[in-house]
Amino acid sequence: MGVKVSYDELGDLSTQLKNIVDEFENAGSRRRDLEDAVDRPYDKSELKDAAHDFEGRWDDRRKRLMENCKGVAEHVDSVIEGFKDFDVKAASKSESE
């Protein structure tokens, strides 16, 4: 039984995970944009305060998700490198036989 590995698909997965990490990293800088967009409808601050509270709670979760995505991307990159190394060694061994 063999293992089929698509380097293109794994590479795409790694790229997508890194894009997600970048998006999470940049999301924190847009926090103020949300609060400013909500503003104070009818001169009441409850909605803006709720947006502020949400962003504060989301910051913690976003950081955890970002770290998890980084870890998965690193594992995917390791799998790609591991299989490429195996392919090179297997090819050179079969050529020498």
pLDDT tens per residue across span 60-90:
898 999 999 999 999 999 999 998 998 899 8
Closest CA to 55 of 68, 36, 40, 42: 36
User: Quick one: pLDDT at residue 1?
Assistant: 63
Angle (CA) 61-17-52 rounded to 5° is: 25
Give the integer Cα–Cα distance in Å for 92 and 90.
6
Residue 5 lies in a domain: no
Residues near 47 by beta carbon (within 8 Å), at least 6 away in sequence? 38, 40, 41
- State the total domains in the chain: 1
Instruction: Tell me the C-alpha to C-alpha distance, in Å, between residue 17 and each of 30, 52, 80.
Output: 20, 27, 14
Residue 1 lies in a domain: no
Residue 65 lies in a domain: yes
Residue 41 lies in a domain: yes
Q: pTM for the full model?
A: 0.71
Residue 20 lies in a domain: yes
Domain membership of residue 82 as a residue range: 14-92
Upper half-sphere CA count for residue 27 (Cβ side, 13 Å): 16
